[in-house]
């Protein structure tokens, strides 16, 4: 799986979709992020277009302290919040479980703001989200393998 320049990405083998979604949410909490929104893309595609789509969800993750710092610096930065996290099945229908988790890279998004005051904050958020992805490794995968 390729990793876009504007995101942090990890593919987890041997983990089903529901377990990968739960693992993403729980691991985000370790860096102070909670989920403020969730879009079930699979359901939306079926309901709105009557199209089948792999299991895919978009989570809106927010660290309130960091969001407050960004918004008090620039009210319009809310256009870039919350941090999007996607979880999707790599091979729909296969029993072996393989899911990808990708997190939008704030520093890439904040480049369009061109605010020196926000660059340090974006770097801190990048570091936190990068650590989240590092924690999504094999030890966690084994814990959730039977979920």
Q: Is the pLDDT of residue 140 over 60?
A: no
Structural domains of the chain, count: 1
Task: Evaluate whether residue 36 is within a structural domain.
Answer: yes
Q: Is the pLDDT of residue 139 over 90?
A: no
Q: Quote the Cα angle for 131-100-57, to 5°.
A: 100
Q: How many residues does the chain have?
A: 147
Task: Evaluate whether residue 1 is within a structural domain.
Answer: no
Q: What is the pLDDT of residue 142?
A: 37
Q: Residue 100 corresponds to which tokens in the numbers above?
A: 């990808």
**CATH number where 62 lies:** 3.30.310.70
**Stretch 138-146: mean pLDDT:** 39
pTM of the predicted model as reported, rounded to 2 decimal places: 0.88
Of 2, 5, 60, 65, the residue nearest 34 (C-alpha) = 60
Report which of residues 96 and 20 the model is more confident about: 20
Q: What is the pLDDT of residue 78?
A: 94
Task: Evaluate whether residue 35 is within a structural domain.
Answer: yes
Task: Evaluate whether residue 97 is within a structural domain.
Answer: yes
Of 112, 97, 78, the residue nearest 145 (C-alpha) = 97
Q: How many CA atoms lie within 13 A of 119 on its CB side?
A: 5
Bridge partners of 101, per DSSP, are 10, 87
Tell me the per-residue pLDDT of 16-44, one tens digit each, with 9 for 90 and over.
999 999 999 999 999 999 999 999 999 99
Task: Evaluate whether residue 26 is within a structural domain.
Answer: yes
What range defines the domain where residue 85 resides? Answer: 7-140
**Stretch 118-134: mean pLDDT:** 92
Task: Evaluate whether residue 124 is within a structural domain.
Answer: yes
Task: Evaluate whether residue 48 is within a structural domain.
Answer: yes
Task: Evaluate whether residue 147 is within a structural domain.
Answer: no
Burial 76-104, CB ≥16 within 10 A → b, else e: ebeebbbbbbbbbbbeeeeeebbbbbbbb
Q: What is the pLDDT of residue 147?
A: 37
- Cβ-defined contacts of 49-55 (< 8 Å, 24+): 54/88, 54/89, 54/92, 55/17, 55/88, 55/89, 55/92
Q: Is the pLDDT of residue 74 over 70?
A: yes
Tell me the per-residue pLDDT of 42-67, one tens digit each, with 9 for 90 and over.
999 999 999 999 999 999 999 999 99
Report which of residues 33 and 145 the model is more confident about: 33
């Amino acid at each position: 799986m390729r990793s876009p320049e504007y995101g942090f990405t990890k593919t987890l083998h041997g983990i089903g979709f529901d377990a990968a979604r739960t693992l993403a949410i729980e691991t985000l909490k370790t860096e102070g992020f909670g989920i403020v929104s969730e879009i079930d893309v699979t359901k939306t595609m079926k309901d709105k277009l009557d199209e089948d789509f792999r299991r895919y969800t978009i989570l809106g993750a927010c660290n309130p302290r960091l969001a407050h710092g960004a918004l008090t610096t620039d009210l319009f930065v809310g256009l870039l919040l919350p941090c999007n996290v996607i979880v999707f099945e790599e091979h729909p229908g296969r029993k072996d479980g393989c899911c990808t988790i990708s997190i939008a890279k704030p520093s890439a998004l904040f480049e369009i703001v061109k605010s020196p005051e926000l660059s340090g904050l974006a770097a801190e958020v990048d570091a936190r989200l990068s650590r989240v992805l590092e924690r999504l490794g094999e030890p966690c995968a084994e814990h959730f393998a039977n979920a």
